[in-house]
Amino acid sequence: MIKKSFKIIAFLNVFLLIIGTMIVRNSKYFRQFEELFSHIMVFGWGIWFTSIIWSGVNTLLIYEHIKDKLKQNIIWLLISILPMMYFLIILISVFI
């Protein structure tokens, strides 16, 4: 069984990724206020990258915790790695 804290962190990472993406994509409405725009972008990108980093850490912790029962708990591993997968898909699509 996976610890409840790992499950909460997995969902929190996905939620932070969505919030960070929404902030960065919708910040174009604040471009006329240059200082506010820069604060919003830094905040949005900070949330986004924090979500990706904690996604990697949480995925490793979940894997170490459930490596004996991987087939039964694969869904939590996939939910936890979702922000990293999103980031890698964006990187691959930019470089191609």
pLDDT attached to residue 28 = 76
Residue 92 has pLDDT above 90, yes or no: yes
Task: Of 55, 47, 57, give the one whose Cα is nearest residue 80.
Answer: 55
CB 59 within 8 A of CB 83: no
1 has a pLDDT exceeding 80: no
Q: Is the pTM higher than 0.85?
A: no
Domain of 33 in residue numbering reads as 4-95
Q: What's the structural domain count of the chain? A: 1
The pLDDT value given to residue 72: 87
- How confident is the model over 33-81, as pLDDT tens digits? 778 878 888 888 889 899 999 999 999 999 998 888 888 889 999 999 9
Give the model's confidence band at 26: pLDDT under 50 very low, under 70 low, under 90 confident, else very high. confident
